Structures are given as structure tokens and as C-alpha cells.
Amino acid sequence: MDIRKSCIAAALAAVAFPAVPALAATPAQQATNRALILVPLTLVKIDDLSFGTVSPSTTSLGIVSINAATGARTVFGGVTGVPSDVGNRAQFAGAGTPGQQVVITHTTPLELISTTNNADRIAVLGLTLDGLPLRTIDPVTRAFFFHMGGTIMLNPNQPEGRYEATFDVTANYL
């Protein structure tokens, strides 16, 4: 009988005092979910990089450089620049979400290769950007612009002809 009385007492207690769920603590700070959707970046080449027309020396190396910021050509050593074709810097334009920052990256070809004889080559010493690689997209026009220059080295008696190479330029949101 003691067991019966104990079970009845436990059942009465369970009915008399129902379980109450614990209250959840309120957060000290509220958080907001956000997502920023950016329009895809576009990037177009406006103008190619050109070192212009030059005449190499028969005895010494020559350097030709196009300034990325100004577009001015400079020649050093055994090379003479032809005034009627001074070359120009490459120009690019991009578009994207206003006010966002983009970072510009590029590859540099090792050499320019003759369009008529693959054995004839000109060393590319480097390509340069007209300032820092970080750009901010204009809040009104939604555009950004940049220029690229570079430096090449001609050998003495560099064979005549047209020399070319491609390089890749990329813009990505930061």
C-alpha cells in the first residue's frame, strides 16, 4: 500500500504543479542580416599600348619607355625615337556599382615578338599602372578609368619590323 500511496501522491503533485517552460534570455544586442548585391564589373580597352617607331643603334642597347601617367615616351641609350610616331599609353575604362572599390591587376609579357619572324624578339622590362591599383567607381558616372605604360629594351641591330605581345588586365571588387 505504501507504493500505491506514493504513486497517487506523485500523480496529484504532477497535476497540481504543471511544468513551466523556461523563458529565453533576451539578447543584449540585436543583429541585422544584410547583403550587398553588386552589378557585374565591365572592363574595356580604349587604346593599346604603343612604343611608337624607333631606330636602334648598331652598337648598344636601347630602352624605350611610355609613362603610364602622362603618356610621354622616353628613349635611352642606343635608340632614337621617330618624332612622327611617339607611341601612347594603353587606356582602359570600367563600370560597376557606384562608390565601390576595385583592384586592378595585370600580367606582363616577357617579350614582344616580330609579326614576320618569330625568332626576332624585344625584351619587355615591365608594365606600369598610372598610380595605385585601387580605384573607386565614380558615384555619378558609375565609371573608372586607368592607363598603362611600359618599358622595352632593344638589342643593337634589332631587326626591323612590327613587334607585338598581349597582356591581360583584370578589375575585381575589393
Most confident of 6-15, 26-35, 124-133: 124-133
Beta strands in 62-120 (DSSP E): 62-66, 73-77, 79-81, 90-95, 101-106, 111-114
pTM of the model as a whole: 0.79
The b/e string for 6-25 (b: 16+ C-beta within 10 A; e otherwise) is eeeeeeeeeeeeeeeeeeee
Question: Cα separation of 123 and 154, whole Å?
Answer: 7
Instruction: Write the burial class of residue 79 (CB in 10 Å: 0-12 exposed, 13-18 middle, 19+ buried).
Output: buried
Task: Taking residues 142-163, report their average pLDDT.
Answer: 97
- What's at 93, amino acid-wise? A
pLDDT of residue 29: 79
The separation between the first and the last C-alpha atoms of the chain, rounded to the nearest angstrom, is 79
Task: Taking residues 151-173, report their average pLDDT.
Answer: 97
How would you write 130-165 as a 3-class SS string? Answer: CCCCEEECCCCCCEEEEEEEEEEEECCCCCCCCEEC
Please give the domain boundaries of the chain with CATH numbers for all domains.
Answer: 38-173 (2.60.40)
Sequence-ordered list of residues with C-beta below 8 angstroms from that of 44, at least 6 positions apart, any chain: 92, 93, 94
pLDDT (tens digit, 9 = 90+) per residue, 80-134? 999 999 999 999 999 999 999 999 999 999 999 999 999 999 999 999 999 999 9
pLDDT of residue 32: 85
Q: Is pLDDT at 22 greater than 80 in this prediction?
A: no
